[in-house]
Amino acid sequence: MVLVLVMQTDAPFWDSLGFEGIDDVDAEAVTAAFGTVEVVARGWVAEAECPDCGRISDRVHDRYQRRLKDLPLAEQGFVIRLTVRRFICGSAGCPRRTFAEPFSRLAAPHARFTTRLNHALERVRLALAGQAAPGWPPRWAPAREE
Ligand SMILES: [Zn+2]
């Protein structure tokens, strides 16, 4: 599924925005202010699987918010404010009492950037490494594994 967000303001530079390959979040609201576009999003699935015991739970313990930076859009900063639900495992033999919705395609656990921004930053890093001055790396440097 591709999420399509339609701006209701007079910002002409975008009318839709796709999170390709991310099928577990819904966008609830989009605001644009102070050079930053903010998307309020949350997961829509009713249940999640405990990472320790694999039991499926639909008992929500609580919710918290994660702020994720995404790729800039038309020179605007782009932030996703993601509401994450914490589920109760409830399995007697499981050491884990609660666990958070994974959102594995959007961002790694505890990440501050979305996965695609991470990939973009990695490409920038590689590009900069490729433009290093002649004679770099120095001969005494250990060979890097690619
Ligand atoms: Zn469990």
What is the residue-wise DSSP string for 83-144? EEEEEE---TT-S-SEEE---TTT--TT-SB-HHHHHHHHHHHHHHHHTPPTT-S-TTSPPP
Q: pTM here?
A: 0.65
Total domain count, the chain: 1
Residue 48 within a domain: yes
What does the pLDDT read at residue 65?
92
Distance between CA atoms of residues 104 and 120, nearest Å: 17
Residue 99 within a domain: yes
Residue 94 within a domain: yes
What does the pLDDT read at residue 140?
52
What does the pLDDT read at residue 23?
65
Residue 10 within a domain: no
Residue 112 within a domain: yes
Q: Of residues 21 and 86, which shows the higher confidence score? A: 86
Q: Is pLDDT above 60 for 12? A: no
What does the pLDDT read at residue 143?
52
Quote the DSSP letter at residue 53.
T
Q: What digits encode the pLDDT tens for the residues 70-119?
A: 877 667 788 888 899 999 999 999 999 999 988 877 777 778 888 877 77
Residue 100 within a domain: yes
Residue 44 within a domain: yes
Segments forming the whole domain that contains residue 114: 25-130
Residue 15 within a domain: no
Distance between CA atoms of residues 57 and 24, nearest Å: 16
**CA of 54: how far to CAs of 40, 59, 92, 105, in Å?**
29, 14, 13, 19
CA 106 to ligand 1 center in whole angstroms: 23
CA 123 to ligand 1 center in whole angstroms: 37
CA 103 to ligand 1 center in whole angstroms: 18
Q: Is the peptide bond before 137 cis (omega within 30 degrees of 0)?
A: yes
CA 95 to ligand 1 center in whole angstroms: 7
